[in-house]
Each structure stands twice: as structure tokens, then as C-alpha cells.
Structure 1
Amino acid sequence: MSDLRQWSREAIRIIEADFQRSADTHLIPLELPGFPGIDLYFKDESSHPTGSLKHRLARSLFLYALCNGWLKQGAPVIEASSGSTAISEAYFARLLGLPFIAVMPAATSQEKVDQIAFYGGQVHLVQDPSQIYAESERLARETGGHFMDQFTYAERATDWRANNNIAESIFQQLRFETHPEPAWLVSSPGTGGTTATLGRYVGYRQHPTRVLCADAERSVFFDFYRSGDAGLLLDHGSRIEGIGRPRVEPSFLPNVIDAMIKVPDALSLAAMHYLAQRLGRRVGGSSGTNLIGALMAAQQMVQTGETGSIVAILCDGGDRYATTYYHPDWLKAQGFELAGLINAVAACAERGEALPEGILRERI
């Protein structure tokens, strides 16, 4: 057996052992008094060891790269990321004793930068978010390392049929609920890997469950879903960290999605604050986007006289955004006035009132 094959086998064993030490994430019910007969749950991915949904992705990417022979002992791992994936990959790189370099937009929150450093990773910041890919490729060439490229490999690295993926976990946890087969699964797109897993799984298992993808305001995913134009580009990145992209990523698979919306950033942040109040702890901005998606799905169910359950993804905790999304000075500097929108989200969730205008939708 070659030294590379032997090292890779040991690396896979280490990752699998780490997985066996980790419990599954919780499914948290959230009452919606404004929508009787509809049960909402949040799949709380913040309870992973690295605090976000991206822990699943990072584990899958490392296993995929190892099984393909792409990782080598002592060689750096490089990733283009807005933060959460890099944090999780830094964790797994440290587990395997590999150097890690995160290529990130300069506007990424300091809390995320600090967490990458905590796991022993380095951070390479770029002013233009669209350059994170080219910079990652350059660093991989110059260091002899491997560019993990989550935006290309997310959908294929995850085993969507079984192996305790997020979709299988959700259905297992709902078994004894009033509505064990959800009407809707709601997720926002970063790489597109999670929506691909959800959509493929419900198709494979022949569930009638629909998948709603909730996009950020500064992102091309919704427009690609609507137009089919894979060449769409933006000259700026998303303000909701972890979701929304300035280009159409290879891992985003529109054909496995049943409906899509685009949520204004201010409304995502308002929903984030409302959800934090309801849960008694901070959550990230993408969880607010997903709450809006869940409320849109609930409104549609009411209109068609449908009862049932909805599961949305709680992507990460909010401590990473203490100096941004939860800081009044930062919100003011960005031009966000959230008080009225927070009240509007509350009115929808608690009294069934319509959400504010500005949400774009397709086939919901």
C-alpha cells in the first residue's frame, strides 16, 4: 500500500471517529399562532462542533477529497468562503494536521476570522469578493496545496441518499410528530449543496414534500432560477453572510427545487431579530431569510386550505455577528431601520397578517 493511500485511510478513520462522537442536531418547534394547523420546526445546525450547517459540508468535502486522492500529508488546504465553511474546514484540517488557508471577502465579520484562527487556520482577505476563486486557485498552485472549491463540489460531495444527511435526519426526527411528512422544506442557498440534498432526497424517497429556496437580495440564484441564464454576474457580494452569490455556482441545481423567493436584506435581518427573540438566543441572518421563506410557505398553505408541517434550516448562531447584524451602529451605518419590519414579521407569525411588499417569488 502506498504512503498516500495509507495516510488517506487513517485520515478518513479520524474524520469518521469524530463523526461518531457527535450527536445529531436538534429539531426545534416554533409556534405560529397566526397559522393554526401548521407546525413550524427549525433544524438547528448551530449545535455542530463548529457552530453551523457548514460542518456537514466540510466533513463531506474532506471525505470526498480524500477518497479522490486530492489531499496529501502536510500540503495546505485552501478554500474560498464567506466564513462559515472556512471555520468548519479549519476544524477538519486541524484534525488531520494539515495547514489551512481561507480566502475571504474583506468585509467578513471579525468573529469569523477569529474562529478560523482559533482552529489554526490562516486568513487571506480580498477586497473584491468575486476574486476569491482566482486567489484560491493561485494559492493552491503556489503552495502545492488543494483548493477544496465548495461551490463546485458541494452537491456531489454529499451523499443525498442516506448516510445521515440533513434530509434523512429531518424525516427521522419528525416520525412521531402530528405531521411527520413535511409539506415544505425551506433552505437558503450558499453553495446550493443543501437545497440539492433536500430536493434529491425527497425525490429519491418519493415524498410529496416540496422544497422552497429563499435567496438573498444581492444574489443571482433567484434570477437564474427564473431566467435560466447561467452567465448572470453581480459586481458585489451578498450582505447576508453565508448565502447569496454574485455568480451562478455549479452546485446550485434549480431542477430539484419546487419554488423560490428573493428576500430583501432588511426583512431577512428583521426576521433574524424576531427569531432570536422567540428562541431566546441569537441566530444568523440566513436563518431570518429562512423564516421569511417558511412564513411564505405557511401563507400559501392557508390559501389552499392545507395543514401540515414546515421545516426550515437554522444555519448558524448569531454570536458571529455581534459587531454587525446585532450592533445598532453597524445597522445604522448600513441604512437598516428594522423596528417596523420586526413588528411586521411578528404580525405575520402571530396573527397571520401579510408580509411587507418587496419579496420576489416564483411558483410558490
Structure 2
Amino acid sequence: MLDNITLKDERRIANHELISEYIYTYRYPEEEHSLCQLEMRAFFNTDTDSNFIKSKVKVDPSRSPFMKDRIEVMYEGNSLSEIMEQVTKLRLGESTFSVSFINFKEMGNSKKISYKERNQIERDLGWKIDADFDLHHPDYAFGLIRLNDYWYFGEHVESEPVWLHHVKKPHSYSTALGTRLARSLCNIAVPDPEGISVIDPCCGIGNVLVEALSMQINISGRDINPLVTKGSRKNIAHFGYECDVTTGPIETSPEGYDVAIIDLPYNLYTHITQEEQLSILKHANRIADKVVVVTVDTIDHMVEEAGFQVKDRCIARKARFSRQVLVCE
């Protein structure tokens, strides 16, 4: 690294001369492991059984119900002393900062660090940075993490559990997708929202719509039941979002969408037939190039008959109830 560089210089180097590397930490219940990995593959084109992943892809950690932290790597080394030496080159001017040591649990082969030891390392590292420390409202938040006995330091972004704010809605159905699953589906379907148009043609009460809108995904909703679409509109407005939600069957839905997200109706709670399910998939192929389908049954034969191929999949479990998530193109 260069001597006495400012954070602005560091970012210039990262953005134009080098490709930044990001470290993401994860936390998930075992029953959602498969769903979490499918979301990883959508974001990063790879997955891991570990509770962290390194990538050159930048993602807002608040998008995922599983991500907890993101560190944009500025310095790295074989020891803490190497990091200590490198951060002395950083100049923040009048800006304030904070430092968080992320190893509050095991990370790869690196053991969990006790609170007392983490606190001491944060203080020692903070003394090396030529700026004022501010724990509560810093201009810059930095993170330190040790992975497999190697050390990384950089800007730290902590995930905000946005989806939790959407759990309580004015209108809800017991059969509706949970907010965590709905949010992950949006990420699987649209890892990068830029320029992507999306439709949920069986939107129900609007859980997918709310999560997508909270991530600035350009989405429209549609459902055959007018009472359901009325409730969906009220739920969307309740959280301060706006979305076009129309009433009608998928057969009359307009074409030209990049992605469709479909929680496929099924016999456990509706009287839909397999022929009607197949019709939904065929019309999904007409209106969108890519479809993410949620189903309780194995429908690979229907997917193929509708003209799609299953590109990726997972099992999303909740207690004894399981759904399949299929990425179809």
C-alpha cells in the first residue's frame, strides 16, 4: 500500500486500479441452508457451507435475510501486527470512525474470540488510526475479521433486518409466503435490479411485492381474486410503497417481462388442477424470459412441457412443511 493515503485515495485505487474484494458473513437456521445457498449462487455464482463468503461482487447485505456483515477489504495480512502497521497509513482528516472485530463466533478455521479480547483488539487498532473515534455515529465504520488465520480490515456495513418490519401487515393469509422466503425469492430472481422488469402474476396478499419494492426492484402484481388484490394494494400502501397491482388471470397478463416470480397454487389449499398449474407455467413462459417457481410438488415434467429448463433449485423448509424453489429459463 501507499504511505499516508486518504480513504478517498483508497477508494480510487479500489475502483479504478484494483478490483475490490468483499467478505460477507452469514447466519441461518439449518432448515434454510439450501435456500441460503441458492441465494448465494444467484448473487455470487458460487456457494459455501461456511458462514462466510468472499467475492468481488458488491451486494447490500440488508437485501438478504441471511447476510449479517460486509467488509470491503482495504488491508490484509498474516497477522494482526501487519494490519496494525497498515492502518497507520490511513488519513481520515476531520472524519470520525469506529472499529468492530467480527469474530464473535467461529469463522472458518478461526475460533470465536471472547468479548474481552475483541474489545482490547478494537481499542489497540483504534489507537493506530489518526482520527477521532466515535462508537455511535461514526463517519466511517471499519471492520476487522480473521478467516482461517488470515486477517482482513476494511469498511464495514452491518445488515439491517428490513424484512422484519414487514411481518405485520393489515391483511394476511396463513398460506402466504413468509417474509424471509419472499425476500430471498426476490434476490434469487433478481440479484441485480438494474434495468430488470418483474411480475408476480399470482401475487396473493403481496408479500413478494413488498419485499421487492423495499429493494427498489421494478415489479408489478396480478391475481385472479379481486379481494386478494385489494388487500395486496393496502399492504403495499401500508409500508409507503407504490406498485401496479391488477386483477385478472395470468392468461390475460401482458408480455415483455424479464422475470416472473410465481408461488404456484396447489391442491392443499386450493382446488387447482395439474392442467391449470401447467397452464400457468405455459403462460409464464409467454410473459417472461425467466421464472422462479415455488411449488410443494415435484413438477419438473410440467416445467419441461411448458418450455423451460430447471437451471437451479433448492428446498425451503419450515417445520414439517417443504417447498421447492425452481429457477427456470
Q: Judge same fold: TM > 0.5, yes or no.
A: no
Could you tell me the TM-score, scaled by structure 2's length?
0.32
Which structure has the greater CA radius of gyration? 2
Between structures 1 and 2, the one with greater strand share: 2
TM-score (norm 1): 0.30
More helix by share: 1
